[in-house]
Amino acid sequence: MAATFHSVILGQPEIATMVFAFQFGLYEDVCPAFRACRELVELVARFRSYACDPSFRQAFAPNAVWSDDLGYITPLMYALRGNQRDPRLPLHVAIAQGFVPLTKRILCCRPDLVSDDAIVLAFEKNHLAIVELLLDQRESLARHLNYWGNMVARDDSRGLLLLQRFGLHPDDVIASGRRYVINRATLKNATLALDLFPWLLYPSLLDDIAGKGFLPLVRSLHERGLDCSTVAMNEAATNGHLEVVKFLHFNRTEGCTIGALEWAILNGHLDVVRFLIAHRTEGASPTVLDFAAANGHFDVVQHLHSLGTFGCTVAAVDHAASGGHLNIVEFLLMHRSEGCTHDKVVEKALKGCHPHMARYLLSRGYPFPTSELNLDYFCFGNPESVGVFELLVAHGRPIEEDWFLQACVDSNLPLVRLLYAYADPAWHPEALKEAVRVNAWDIVRFLLANDAMDVSADTLKKALRSGYFDLAAQILRRQPELRHEKLLEAAAASHNAKAIRLLLAAGIGNPREVLLEIAGRKQHVTDCKLLLPCCMDATDHLDNISFLLDLLALPDRHRATTLQLITSELLEQGRKASQTMQLAPSAAARASNLLQAGEVVDWALALVMGHLRATATIEELEKKTALVEDAELKTQLQRLLEEKP
C-alpha cells in the first residue's frame, strides 16, 4: 500500500504533533471532535440540554472508552451555558471524559476555549492531568470551588497541591463544607490540607479526626491545643479505633458517654469493648448483650456472657433469629435462661428470610406460626426466599396474590416458578404488568411462555425500547394486531437502531412519515440513515426525488444535515429518472452543467420541475422553484412556469 499523508503523519502522533505545531486554526487530528459536535449534537432549548446522535461518541473520539452512553449532555454537568449553543462543547466533552491527548491538542489550536469553567469541570471529574494542562494555560481565574472534596479523597496528594496552585481561599468553602471535606479525606491528605490551608480548622475538627481513626493527626491537634468533646472517644470507639481510644483516655479528660461502649458492642469491636470495660466506668445498658446478638457479633456475645455482669432479654434470641445468626441462637439457648418469644420466634426467622433458622427452631419444638404472616418486602428478592415459601406450602399456608406480584417485581425467577404453580390464573395479567413496569424481563419471558394472555401495545413498545427483540418478535407473532405504525416512530424517537431494523424488516410502520418527522435533526442522523433506503420506491424514481426534496424543504431543520443524508440517494434516483424523461433544452443544458459542478439539488429540482410542469399545481411548482439556488436555472424554470397553461 502506498504511503499517504494520513498514514505517515496522522498515524504517528509524535510526528503529527510537531507538524501541527506550525498550523493555524483547527488541527486535522481534532477536526473529528469538532465536526461531531457540529453535525451530531443538537441543542434542545426547551429542555436546556444537548441531544446526541447514537454515532456521536465514535465520531468524536474513535475507539475511546467513554464513561457513559452520552445520549444527552446536561450543560450544568459539563460546565456549559444552557440557554444557547456553547462553542466550548468539544473541549468540555474531552475534559469530562478524561481524554487527555485530545484535550491537549484542542488547547493547542483553540486556547480561546479555556475558561474557569473548564478547570472547575476537570477538578469535578477528578482528571488531574487535565487540570495541570489548564492551569499551565490559564491567564486569570475566579475564586469559586465546591468540588475539592474529590482531591482530599484521593490516594495521593497531587490534587491538593494543584488546589494550592489554583488558589483556594477561605471564602471558597462554607463551614459545613469544611467538615464534609475532612470526613472524606485520607490521613495524608487531611494532614497536608491543614498545613496548606490553616483556615480549614473548625470547632469539632478533633472530634471528627478521632472518629476517622487518624491517630498521628489526633496527636498533632492535641499538641496544638485544640478542644474536643466526649464525641471524640465515642466516635473512635464506634468505629473501632482502639489506639485513638487509648490515646484520648490516657491524654485527655473529656472522657466518653455510655454510647462509647454500647456502639462498640453494637458494631462488634471486641478489642475496644475489652479496653472500655477494663478502663472506663461509664458502662452500658444492662441488656446490651441484646445489641451484640442482634448484629451477629458472636465473639462479643461470648465475652459479655463470660463476664457475668451483662444480661439480655428474650430479644437477644428473637433478633438473632431474625438476622439468621444460627451460632448465636444455639449459644444463647444452650447457655442462658432468658429464652425467646416462644410462639413468635419461628415467624421472626421466616420474616427475616432465614429458612435454615426456621427449620432449626422447628426441630427444637417451637411452633410454626398460625396467624397472618406479614413478610418484609426485602424477603422476596432474597435467594433464600424459595426455602421460606417451601416451608409455607409444606405447612398448608395458601399463597397470597401480593406475594406472587412482589416476587415478579423483585425479578426472583426461582420464587416466581414456585409460586406460579399455586397462583390463581386471574393474577397473571397483573403479574405481567408489574414485571414489565420494573423491567423484569426474565419474569416476562417466563409468564409469556406459560400463559396465553394478551399483551398490551405498551408492553411491546417497552420490550423494543429495552432491547429485548426476541420477546418483541414473540409478541408480534402471537398478536399480529399490535403491528402498529407508531412502533417505528417510537423506535426512532429513542434512537433504537436494532428496533428500527427489526420493524423495517417486518414491514411495520411508515418510514416516510417517520423520516419527515426527524430528518434534518442532528440527534437523528443515524436513525435517518436506517430509514432512508426503505423510503425509496423500487420503480417510481421521480416520486423518490420529490420526496427527498420535500425533506430538504422542511422548516426549522438543519439544511446541511439533510443534505448529508439525501445527496447520494438524490444523485442515484436522479440518474435513474433521467433515463426515461427529457427536460426543455434550455433547462437541460443548465442542469447538466450544475450536475458536473456537483450541484445535485438544483439538478434534481430541474428534473422534477420539467416532469411535473404539466400535472402539478402552480403552488407546488413555485414551492420547489424556491429551493433552487442557481440564479440562471431559477430564471429558466420561472419562464417555464409562466408558460404553464
Report pLDDT digits (tens) over 628-641: 777 777 776 677 66
Confidence band of 179 (pLDDT split at 50, 70, 90) = confident
Residue 571 and residue 528 in one domain: no
Q: 423-434 pLDDT, tens per residue?
A: 999 999 999 999
Asked, for residue 371, whether it belongs to a domain, the answer is: no
Mean pLDDT value across residues 341-363: 96
Domain boundary among 262, 284, 306: 284
Residue 523 and residue 574 in one domain: no
- 3-state secondary structure labels for all residues of 265-289: HHCCCHHHHHHHHHHCCCCCCCCCH
Asked, for residue 208, whether it belongs to a domain, the answer is: yes
Domain boundary among 535, 550, 585: 535
DSSP3 helix / strand / coil % (the chain, rounded to 5): 65, 0, 35
Asked, for residue 259, whether it belongs to a domain, the answer is: yes
Residue 586 and residue 627 in one domain: yes
Asked, for residue 394, whether it belongs to a domain, the answer is: no
Asked, for residue 135, whether it belongs to a domain, the answer is: no
Contact 56, 41 (CB under 8 A): yes
Mean pLDDT value across residues 238-261: 96
Asked, for residue 142, whether it belongs to a domain, the answer is: no
Asked, for residue 516, whether it belongs to a domain, the answer is: yes
Mean pLDDT value across residues 615-621: 61
The residue range of the domain holding 277 is: 203-284
Mean pLDDT value across residues 336-363: 95
Contact 182, 205 (CB under 8 A): yes
Q: Report the domain count for the chain.
A: 3
Q: 456-488 pLDDT, tens per residue?
A: 988 998 998 888 988 998 999 899 999 988 899
Cα–Cα distance, 184 to 208 (Å, whole number): 11
Residue 573 and residue 634 in one domain: yes
Give the global pTM.
0.69
Domain boundary among 518, 535, 552: 535
Query: Coil, strand or helix: which one is 50?
Result: strand
Confidence band of 143 (pLDDT split at 50, 70, 90) = very low
Confidence band of 83 (pLDDT split at 50, 70, 90) = confident
The mean predicted confidence, pLDDT, of the chain is: 87
Asked, for residue 638, whether it belongs to a domain, the answer is: yes
Residue 520 and residue 471 in one domain: yes
List CB contacts of 359: < 8 A, sequence separation 6 or more.
391
